[in-house]
C-alpha cells in the first residue's frame, strides 16, 4: 500500500533521513518523481531529478527505487486542494505532499492498466 509522508527538507541530511525512514517503515519500493516537459523533453529539472534518483537508490539499497512521470501532478494537486476549499495561500505547505499522493496513485493505477 502506498503512503505519502510529509516532505523531507532538501538539506545535507536528506538521504540519511530517507534511508532511516525507509528502514523503519519496512519500505519495499520508493517512487521518485521525474519532471519532464509537457512535450516529454528532458529539462534541467529532469536532469536534477535523475541525479537525485541515483543518489536515493544508492542511499537506500537494496530497496527498489523507480522514477515515475510527474507531469501535471502539481496542477492536479492545486485543483484538488482548491476543490477542498483551501485558498491558494493556504496550499503552499501541502502542495508537494498532495502532488506526491497523486503521483503515487498514478503509479498504482498504472500497475493495473492491463
pLDDT of residue 90: 81
Distance CA(68)–CA(65), nearest Å, equals 10
**The C-alpha cell that represents 43 in the structure block:** 529539462
**The C-alpha cell that represents 52 in the structure block:** 537525485
pLDDT of residue 50: 96
Tally the domains of the chain.
2
C-alpha angle 103-108-110 in degrees, rounded to nearest 5 = 95
For the chain, 114 residues long, the average pLDDT of each consecutive 10-residue run is 71 93 93 91 94 96 94 85 86 82 87 76
**The C-alpha cell that represents 55 in the structure block:** 543518489
- Asked if the structure places residue 90 within a domain, the reply is yes
**The C-alpha cell that represents 62 in the structure block:** 537494496
- Asked if the structure places residue 17 within a domain, the reply is no
Element (H, E) at 68: strand 64-69
- Asked if the structure places residue 106 within a domain, the reply is yes
pLDDT of residue 58: 97
pLDDT of residue 22: 94
Residues 83 and 62 in one domain: no
Domain that holds residue 80: 72-114
How many CB atoms neighbour CB 98 within 10 A? 21
- Asked if the structure places residue 82 within a domain, the reply is yes
Residue reference for cell 507531469: 71
Distance CA(46)–CA(81), nearest Å, equals 25
How many CB atoms neighbour CB 55 within 10 A? 15
CB 31 within 8 A of CB 22: no
Residues 62 and 86 in one domain: no
pLDDT of residue 4: 63
Amino acid at each position: 500500500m502506498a503512503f505519502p509522508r510529509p516532505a523531507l527538507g532538501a538539506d545535507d541530511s536528506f538521504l540519511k533521513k530517507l534511508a532511516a525512514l525507509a528502514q523503519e517503515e519496512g519500505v519495499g519500493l520508493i517512487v521518485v518523481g521525474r519532471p519532464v516537459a509537457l512535450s516529454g523533453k528532458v529539462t534541467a529539472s529532469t536532469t536534477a531529478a535523475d541525479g537525485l534518483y541515483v543518489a536515493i537508490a544508492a542511499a537506500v539499497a537494496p530497496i527498489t527505487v523507480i522514477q515515475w512521470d510527474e507531469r501535471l501532478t502539481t496542477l492536479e494537486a492545486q485543483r484538488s486542494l482548491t476543490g477542498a476549499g483551501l485558498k491558494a495561500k493556504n496550499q503552499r505547505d501541502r502542495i508537494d505532499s498532495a502532488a506526491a499522493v497523486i503521483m503515487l496513485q498514478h503509479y498504482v493505477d498504472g500497475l493495473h492498466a492491463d
